[in-house]
A and B are shown apart, each in its own frame.
Chain A
Amino acid sequence: MTVEGTAQRKNTRGSSKRTAAKKATPAKKASPAQDRNSGRTEQAEQDQLVQLLTPEGERVEHPDYSIDLSPDELRGLYRDMVLTRKFDAEATTLQRQGELGLWASLLGQEAAQIGSGRALRDDDYVFPTYREHGVAWCRGVDPTNLLGMFRGVNHGGWDPNTNNFHLYTIVIGSQTLHATGYAMGVQKDGADSAVIAYFGDGASSQGDVAESFTFSAVYNAPVVFFCQNNQWAISEPTEKQTRVPLYQRARGFGFPGVRVDGNDVLACLAVTRAALERARTGQGPMLIEAFTYRMGAHTTSDDPTKYRADEEREAWEAKDPILRLRTYLESEGIVDEAYLASIDKESDALGKRVRDAVRAMPDPDDMAIFENVYADGHALVDEERAQFAAYQASFVDADAAAEGN
């Protein structure tokens, strides 16, 4: 899936960022409001992205963010992205086959997630939204555990403290406050770890995100805000969320913001590392806006063809995060055909494991409804549990009686 169709994509890779942006804008020039949108897009394109790897797979330097990775580390990033994309594709398929009720695909955002995820230390703590499958992968959460909530057997199938990876949060932006509070706790403990909160461009409109900026700045909390600006909040473009580039918001709260090429795994890694180090050394929060693109639907429930132009997606496909790293690794001789084939094989095996695991996932026990509602118990829950158990048992008794007859 990942490495197929390379030749096809290579044809579109020639277009520059600027051409890509212009391709997407003509349809939007009908009204004054849309003129403003196109102005915004142009400005967004002009804003300096931190980039270490161009869409053409060329390694470039940035004065503030340098990185020096070993061949093993580079191959590791490639493997992470390929496997994450495979997992994501498998989950999308499983949804289409009726095995999952819903899926939120990360297709296109692999570099933002793997780059930032691999910047984390084990003792850092992650507060994700519901699309951070790549970050979960980096934290060592078994990908099959991410699927329980989408299949409907639980609301989050992992212990957050095992991998320092909190449960997915569905309500937009809520987790940024949890991350901030957690970071305030880290600070009180005198620990030197950091906390990272993931959210999207849509969430930037939520009051909770603004409040988390305020709290983290006021208390100088060791938290990094990692906004994946994937350009769309379901059907609403970023222009409906903000009139200024998102990374610039941080300044008004009193901490730095930076925009990184979200499709450049090296840049995402370098910038996140720097931000985490900043937080760990008592310099407070930082906002990273990973400028990226959600190639698929928001979730399997919506249809992006209704709200955005094919040309836009095509332009972003030319900036594919996996393809550009692969081009770089091939040109440097860091990977060869045998290695790529081995990753493909591993990828297929992962797909099969995920598929089998989802199909084998048992429904929860009926009585799970009453479990863990309260930590210390609650008389009403106890009463309802007993009543429901008796009700369920009455069927068994009836069946037994019928059999007896």
Chain B
Amino acid sequence: MAVFEKITIAKAINESLRASMEADPKVLVMGEDVGKLGGVFRVTDGLQKDFGDDRVIDTPLAESGIVGTAIGMALRGYRPVVEIQFDGFVFPAYDQIVTQLAKMHARALGKVKVPVVIRIPYAGGIGAVEHHSESPEALFAHVAGLKIVTPSNSSDAYWMLQQAIAGDDPVIYFEPKRRYHDKSRLDTESIPDPLHKARIAQSGADLTLAAYGPMVKVCLDVAKVASEEGKSVEVVDLRSLSPIDFDTVQSSVEKTGRLVVVHEAPVFFGAGAEIAARITERCFYHLEAPVLRVGGFHSPYPPSRLEDEYLPGLDRVLDAVDRALAY
């Protein structure tokens, strides 16, 4: 296998699918337009050519059908990797994911496994029309039986997808679509972190920023600016939202005493609320300030001309950092 110096996240996912399909003939890719077109983001580019239309399956335009038949194929011993074209299109399949996929292993008292991976390009920042920019991760994380992960760089994108496919649980693999074309180093040699382990993306001493997916880059930029202002910010890339590696967040907060959680999804009932509650319980005597959250508003995702206001950017996160440090 080639060692790539710097490749895009989209290419890393493509390589990951290729590696998984080579390693296990039971791995299938299915979804709308994943074949000849290579997906609307070209993430599956070339796979059908190399693996055939029996393993890279162009499906009818029916999300519930895609996930429902993937469940059936998993019951037959296959490992389907399903592509949902855009975040807002997953809802026709939500019933199959929540009432069937998530619960089937438990319902069967462990006698059947449904290792279906659902890839969802998610979140905003690409100037798209409605239903193309949403962050529905909390809606899935709330459901027992599903695992939720989201990479923020090429190496994680490459490894985490293979780990998700190799595991026996259903996994929702959220892809930060506005980072698809960001290049970062892909390390195919060293042993990757476990799938659900959080990563310290940037060390710091005064405050912890916890983020995932597309917001990791924003937080790294914040850390850089803050550093110029003499503030030392630590950035934790959660990588996994179900489960969440609270131990890593806890260690960081015990060191810094302050936590700001950043995500694109609406703050209300979001991942930040869960993290704030758990960390407050675990780190009450270490906290110098309340856990703050920066995220989307309790509104539909706005028309794209307004998305820069909606999405947490450098300034909004810096403002939260300042507020936390002011306590």
- Could you list which residues of chain A lie within 8 angstroms of chain B, going by C-beta atoms? 127, 154-157, 159-161, 166-167, 169, 171, 174, 176-186, 188-189, 207-208, 211-212, 214-215, 218, 371-376, 378-381
Contacts and interface: CB of A to CB of B under 8 A. Distances in A.
Nearest to A154: B109
Nearest to A191: B76
A167 B112 CA distance: 10
Contact of A177 (B72, B107, B144, B167): B72
Contacts of A156: 107-109
Given A208-B65, A379-B245, A185 B72 contact: yes
B120 interface: no
A208 B60 CA distance: 13
A374 B147 contact: yes
B69 A181 contact: yes
B245 A376 contact: no
A374 B242 CA distance: 11
A373 B60 contact: no
Nearest to B144: A373
14 contacts: A160-B108, A161-B112, A167-B108, A179-B72, A181-B69, A184-B72, A184-B76, A185-B76, A188-B73, A211-B64, A375-B168, A376-B167, A379-B244, A381-B243
Q: How large is the interface on B (under 10, 10 to 19, 20 to 34, 35 or more residues)?
A: 35 or more
Contacts of A178: 68-69, 71-72, 75, 100
Contacts of B60: 211, 214-215, 218
B110 A215 contact: no
Contacts of B144: 373, 381
A375 B64 CA distance: 23
Interface string B75-99: 1111000000000000010011001
* Highest count of chain B CB atoms <10 Å: which of A155, A176, A181: A181
A214 B108 contact: no
Contacts of B110: 371-372, 375
* Highest count of chain B CB atoms <10 Å: which of A171, A183, A215: A215
The secondary structure that dominates the A interface is: helix
Given A181-B75, A185-B77, A218-B60, A372 B68 contact: no
Contact of A215 (B69, B92, B246): B69
Interface in B26-81: 54, 59-60, 62, 64-65, 67-78
A167 B67 CA distance: 18
A107 to B, nearest CB: 26
Contacts of B147: 374, 378
Nearest to A384: B144
B100 A171 contact: yes
A380 B105 contact: no
B68 A208 contact: yes
B23 interface: no
A174 B75 contact: no
B168 A181 contact: no
A186 B77 CA distance: 10
B66 to A, nearest CB: 9
B96 A208 contact: yes
Interface string B230-255: 00000000000011111000000000
Contacts of B108: 156, 159-160, 167, 372
Nearest to A223: B72
Contacts of B145: 373-374
Nearest to A382: B243
A376 B168 contact: yes
B106 interface: yes
B99 A181 contact: no
A236 B95 CA distance: 23
Interface string B191-222: 00000100000000000000000000000000
A182 B243 contact: no
Contacts of B54: 188
A188 B196 CA distance: 33
Given A177-B72, A373-B144, A207 B64 contact: yes
Nearest to B58: A218
A178 B114 CA distance: 11
Contacts of A188: 54, 73, 78
Given A188-B78, A215-B59, A374-B105, A379 B69 contact: no
B68 A177 contact: yes
Nearest to A176: B68
Contacts of B99: 171, 174
Given A159-B109, A169-B100, A374-B105, 10 more contacts: A156-B107, A160-B112, A180-B65, A181-B70, A208-B64, A211-B60, A212-B65, A373-B145, A375-B167, A378-B242
Given A185-B72, A186-B76, A379-B245, A372 B96 contact: no
B90 to A, nearest CB: 15
B96 A174 contact: yes
A211 B78 CA distance: 20
A378 B111 CA distance: 18
A205 B110 CA distance: 32
Contact of A182 (B73, B103, B245): B73
Contact of A214 (B62, B71, B167, B169): B62
Contact of A166 (B65, B70, B75, B168): B75
Contacts of B100: 169, 171, 174, 178
Given A167-B107, A178-B100, A208-B96, A379 B72 contact: no
A155 B107 contact: yes
B185 interface: no
B183 interface: no
A380 B242 contact: yes
A184 B78 CA distance: 10
B112 A171 contact: no
A181 B64 contact: no
